[in-house]
Amino acid sequence: MSASTQTATGVGAVESRHLLEVTDLVMNFPVKGGGLLRRTVGHVQAVSGITFAVDRGETLGLVGESGCGKSTTGRAVLQLHRPTSGSVRFDGLELTTLPVRALREVRRDMQIVFQDPYASLNPKMPINDIVAEPFRIHGTWATAGPDRVAELLRVVGLNPEHGNRYPHEFSGGQRQRIGIARALALEPKLLILDEPVSALDVSVQAGVVNLLEELQERLNLAYVFIAHDLSVVRHISDRVAVMYLGKIMEIGGRDDVYDRPRHPYTQALLSAAPIADPTSQAHRERILLSGDVPSPVNPPSGCRFRTRCWKAQEICAQEVPALIPRAGSEPAHQVACHFAEVHAVV
Amino acid sequence: MSDETTAPLLSVEDLAVRFPTEDGVVNAVRGVSYTLAEREVLGIVGESGSGKSVSSMALMQLLPRTAQVEGRVLLRGRDVLRMSAAEQRSLRGRRIGMIFQDPMTALNPVYSIGDQLAETVRSHEAVSRRRALDRALEMLDLVGIPQPRERLGAYPHEFSGGMRQRVMIAMAVINNPEIIIADEPTTALDVTVQAQILEKLLEVKDAVNAAIILITHDLGVVASIAQRVLVMYAGRAVEYGETAQVFRSPRMPYTAGLLGSIPTLASAGTRLRPIPGSPPSLINLPPGCPFSPRCPLRIERCEQVEPSLTATEQQAHTAACHRWVDLADREDPVSIFRNEEVGS
Amino acid sequence: MSSEPSTAPPAPTVEREFTVVARTQAQMVRRRFFRHRGALGGMLVLLAIVVLAFSSIGFGPVHGWWHQSYDGSGDVVNGGSPTLSVLPKFLGGHGFSIGQHPFGQSDIGTDFFALTMRGAQQSLIIAFTVGLVSTLLGLLVGAIAGFFRGFAESVLMRITDVFLTIPLLVIAAIVAHKYGGAGIMALALVLGFLEWMQLARLIRGELLSLREKEFIEAARALGASGPRIIMRHLLPNIVGTIIVNATLTISSAILLETALSYLGLGVRAPDTSLGLLVSNYQTASTTRPWLFWWPGLFIIAIALSVNFIGDGLRDAFDPKQNRVRA
């Protein structure tokens, strides 16, 4: 277990531990039937055993389409959902077994920024109060005070004089910045960013992405950047993990995954992503996947991608492919496919 | 535009839409003009507040009663806006088909899709239910729904997002329309499904001989299937021309800004170039170009006189900018926006 | 960490971003409410009635300005007919004057204006008490069910369902029969215990949808405790629902009390209420119509005005944004 974690980040011998180490994380949600007693009839296997690590100052991009479990992963790391099984070690501390009180303390070091700029802020609170809340919850308001709130607003590019206004008076991009300010209040080491720019206009996304990059440099933050937009992920990530139906299909350095993808799903994903350049669009290879994403309540046996994969063979249904380096890749680039092969698409 | 010997299929002239609201009158669309030729794909690009959706809803007369619409919309020479209500209704779903962004709300959850498709046929043509269902079956096959005969009786919630969107496409084309208006048809879909749907849309367009107006905020989508593009900002068209040309050599700073703010292969390792500021309020627009407060090339004239679409040095490529020549002189128009973190 | 990032365009851009004047939610609600003419009218009428009812004949230890009392008796003057005249002289009337008994007299000579005012007081007290009790109960049940979910929710919702199937009048009849003489507060409490279910369901529903909102998750991610989330995040967002529902409960309580008293199951002598007055004098409606119509008019006026206020509030709290983004 620890061996694979080390190889995942290219670290050879045992040395300084990673900021975040996730091992065999599993998250199942019960599906309740109807009737008076509402018994559990099945489980949504949202996340089915994933392993990765993130260091300070580094961004891990987590991509995948809807239902792949990336958002659930983010929340499970923060213990907003308690994982069904598996380990989440933050700064050496095991979080899954931590009692609630101790967890509250750890929450200062890891925070989350949400996707929806309209639903992630309490519409009845002025933004000064929204950004001040972390201090109030942890009892540091007396020492931190309004100055710190003003400073945080300035850091994210907002005018502190507008602090007494309400969320509905701000644009989507500005609200997202408020959410970032709130997440930064207690000086966390890790930020989970769950589709932070997907709901924003294109020209506004760039500003928020720049802000996130600058903050990461200044504060040595670790990011888990969850998104479905491959271009943004490519821009901001150091390493990328591609998820499908609750499992990681491919993980490695950014350039490795984008330029030398080895998993068929990654290749299909990259070929489908629209590029804002008509000439390269015209010359690009198109890989069109057939069928639909299977239900996470009843995922396919063996390799979960096999129902849509053009390389599928019998072994794919029988044996779950392990996430290991294959096809001549370096140790840090791992693929879960029996027939992994480099195929440049972009 | 280009010297066409035949009149365009659709010609929109000075379309304007106003809404009275609590805070004042919102000028959602302020004089937009464009043409659509047969079988072509026109992309209308803009961000929120640009007026792109409102302008297409105006074409179909789907706006709320409080909306005031002006201008002319000539479908094969006849002004749609001046038609009687009955005539307009007969256009919708027959000569103009519409595909919406969210198929879950556009499809009625209590009727099977076979019924809904048949209904679309029978509201425009007096045919038997049997014949209408046959046609529905043809359509389901055309859009690539597997086992179409069994699926005729299925309900919308039994389909995945991609499948529902295919059903929407089937509904839009079942009466052989001349124009398909697709309003953000793939925004709610996954990337791989989006690719499938866009392919299918092109196939279907050729099969029924229709033209497409594709409204989207995604420049990548426009680049992949639109031949010509219309860029909208603050209710007006600010650039208009062939997609490849507009993308390669934008002549309006807003377009350049849009292109520059998208992460690309080359942008990794550098900062993106956001467009500073925000789109203006559509209630009390100050005089001059609405983009001027955010424009690095602005001069005094920009704040006084609003530029109209003027011809550039490239054929059939117009831009609404007083300084398009300066933009043309630059090697890389996108570089007019500073490449660093800018607040707000 | 504190250096200000440069903003490329000068200050005007920042100002342009705010398309509306800074307004709190409360201000916006107030603004929308006052634009609703029915609600405004209703508020004025209700206010007038409340002020009139409580100041005219006094309440408790405080004396009113009306010189007659509601429980006196005396000589019946002129058949007890009203001495109020409003028709101006030039139209053939007697000009404007109030006289001794503007609403007339009852059959034992009691001033009917005072009696009606007393009835109005009691009816208003009952209605507002019912509103208060049912709102508190509904809020408690709905909030616990909506927030804690699980077993508590199932149990509470089943209890709510049971209460909903109870026929109100039957229970009221039974209670009134046993505790008829216990006074209006007892009646109000009982009615309050029977009117909370709708609000409980509404609140549970709202909480269920609010819980999914990301700002609640954000609060949890920050380490906020349960009570903090309820007080700071959930409650302020359901205040609108509560207020509107409370208003409508008050309106229906007025009519409910009227119906019960009319049937003899509500307020009983020596207390009085508008419903009781109407009930007592229904037979007089042809011979001495003032005894029937004046209390009836007040019932209608109160119910209607509360309804209009409720309408106005519902519209005012409607979260439709007044910012149109095309």
- What is the pLDDT averaged over residues B76-88? 88
User: CB pairs below 8 Å between B and C: how many?
Assistant: 61
pLDDT, tens only, B162-197: 888 899 999 899 988 999 999 988 887 888 888 888
Cross-chain Cβ contact C222/A111 below 8 Å: yes
Residue A155 to residue C2, Cβ atoms within 8 A: yes
Structure tokens at C18: 């705010």
Q: How many CB atoms lie within 10 A of CB C37?
A: 10
Mode of pairing for the β-strands spanning B78-79 and B68-75 = antiparallel
For B199, the closest of A157, A281, A288 (CB atoms) is A288
Q: Which pLDDT does position B266 carry in this prediction? A: 67
Is residue A300 reached through a cis peptide bond, with omega within 30 degrees of 0 on the bond before it? no
Kindly report the nearest CA distance between residue C24 and chain A, in angstroms: 7
Q: What does the pLDDT look like over A21-37, one tens digit per residue?
A: 999 999 999 887 666 55
User: Phi and psi (nearest 5°) for C181?
Assistant: -85, 5
Residue B265 pLDDT exceeds 80? no
Q: What is the pTM of this model?
A: 0.81
pLDDT of residue C179: 66
Instruction: For chain C, list the domains and their CATH numbers.
Output: 46-55+108-316 (1.10.3720.10)
pLDDT at C174: 77
Q: Say if B66 is an interface residue toward chain C (CB within 8 Å).
A: no
pLDDT for A200 equals 85
Q: For chain B, what percent of residues have pLDDT higher than 70?
A: 96
- Nearest by CB to residue B54, choosing from C4, C17, C326, is C326
Which neighbouring-strand residues pair with A45? A28
Average pLDDT, chain A: 87
Say which of C9, C16, C324 has its CB closest to residue B26. C324
Q: Say if C21 is an interface residue toward chain A (CB within 8 Å).
A: no
What pLDDT is stored for residue B341 in this prediction?
Answer: 40
Task: Answer whether C222 sits within 8 Å of A80, measured CB to CB.
Answer: no
CB nearest C325 (choices: B22, B23, B48): B48
pLDDT band per the 50, 70, 90 thresholds, residue A16: low
For residue range A228-284, list pLDDT tens digits in order: 888 899 999 999 999 999 999 999 999 999 999 999 999 999 988 888 888 877 777
pLDDT for the residue C5: 36
Say whether A206 and B272 touch across the interface (CB within 8 A): yes
Give long-range contacts, CB 8 A cutoff, 24+ apart: C23-30.
Answer: C23/A166, C24/A126, C24/A166, C25/A123, C25/A124, C25/A166, C28/C322, C29/C240, C29/C316, C29/C317, C30/C316
Q: Do C326 and B235 touch (CB under 8 A)?
A: yes
B205-247 per-position pLDDT tens digit? 999 899 999 999 889 899 989 999 999 999 999 999 999 999 9
User: Tens digits of per-residue pLDDT, A94-141?
Assistant: 999 999 889 999 999 999 999 888 889 998 888 999 999 999 998 888
Beta-bridge mates of residue A23: A87
Using alpha carbons, select from C122, C165, C132, C115 the residue that is nearest to residue C258. C122
In the structure encoding, which two tokens stand for residue B72, read together?
Answer: 């002319």
Which chain B residues are closer than 8 Å to A293 by Cβ? 160, 190
* Phi and psi, residue B70, nearest 5°: -130, 165
Asked if the C-beta of A3 comes within 8 angstroms of chain B's C-beta atoms, the answer is no
Min Cα–Cα distance to chain C from A75, Å: 9
The answer, yes or no, to whether residue B2 has pLDDT greater than 70, is no
Q: Which residues of chain C have pLDDT under 70?
A: 1-25, 95, 176-177, 179-182, 318-326
What is the share, in percent, of chain B residues with pLDDT greater than 90? 37
Touching C: A residues 210-229, CB under 8 Å? 218-219
Q: Which ipTM did the prediction report?
A: 0.81
B294 at C interface, C-beta within 8 A: yes
Q: Which amino acid is at C97?
A: S
Find residues 262-301 of chain B whose CB sits inside 8 Å of chain A: 262-265, 267-268, 271-276, 278
Mean pLDDT of A76-88: 93
Q: Cα–Cα distance between A94 and A106 in angstroms, integer? A: 11
- pLDDT at residue A7 in the model: 42
Looking at the complex, does the CB of residue A210 fall below 8 Å from at least one CB of chain B?
yes
